[in-house]
Structure 1
């Protein structure tokens, strides 16, 4: 079994090490909704969403879902579907998963704050495509497309994202 291990701005997958982007708020042990930080911990890979119009095929053992324009993720801390997939239009605050900037062409949903869901502990923690150079994420992990495709091809249902605490934290 391989795990994606994040140490600062580097990640390890098997014998490969590569650069990643994490949240603009850094890496934290005390994640809260909207803080822009990436949580420390071990999180199972739940499933993959992808834009079939941009990524013809994803090879993986993980559950696959083709993204549609009506797909969203609830980030409304007062909503019963907080940190859950939703269909749009949706009345609660949410994030659109269908984006024009290609960031969400591939999304790996992480098992963060989902069993059970705790309001205000953070939502929509994904592994997705890396933003443009110099940009950070809102708390997710961003990878180059080729790296993410390789990770998904080699991932199993037991694979996890492991985000290590920064030294001195």
Structure 2
């Protein structure tokens, strides 16, 4: 099976700003976007999914809920002490952290299943700037019809994509 070099994400035509389409090879899948849609200028907590081209870096999964899915991406098991710093003033901004953690952060170990499989996009990580957005992931859909700025897909879609993803696969988010 040939790997995907690029995945294209865009707003679904004629829909609300939180409904997207993902083109992976010759397949098109529905996806969810940030609560305020796609924007070129991403700011911390603005709800935008950032526009741009971002390589996939690695992923996380809940080993207590599923076996490691087949993929060339490095997939790390999530533990209850895993978090992600979203405090722009902290030196660990937009980095994984161990909980408890005093600064503002997201818990990676979630009850709602959103991060049962969670892939990290290189948005504001390799070249980090304060307040430009943190924790931009491709994760699973939940009960809300939007994300906080990530891309969300149904679990069956994620499981179809993973065998064809590798470090450096580009996620091209277009307006």
TM-score, structure 1 length as denominator? 0.94
The alignment status of 1:77 with 2:88, answered yes or no, reads yes
How many residues are paired up? 164
Q: 1:152 aligns with which of 142, 154, 162?
A: 162
Q: 1:140 aligns with which of 141, 147, 150?
A: 150
TM-score, structure 2 length as denominator? 0.91
Give unpaired runs (5+ residues) of structure 1. Answer: none
Q: CA RMSD in A?
A: 1.0
- The CA distance in 1 between the partners of 2:29 and 2:165, in whole Å, is 17
The alignment status of 1:123 with 2:126, answered yes or no, reads no
- What does residue 56 of structure 1 align with? 67
- The CA distance in 2 between the partners of 1:157 and 1:94, in whole Å, is 25
Runs of 4+ in 1 over 3 A off after TM superposition: none
Give unpaired runs (5+ residues) of structure 2. Answer: 12-19
Question: How far off its partner does 1:99 sit?
Answer: 0.4
- The CA distance in 2 between the partners of 1:125 and 1:157, in whole Å, is 16
Q: 1:23 aligns with which of 30, 34, 40?
A: 34
- The CA distance in 1 between the partners of 2:82 and 2:150, in whole Å, is 18
- The CA distance in 1 between the partners of 2:26 and 2:120, in whole Å, is 24
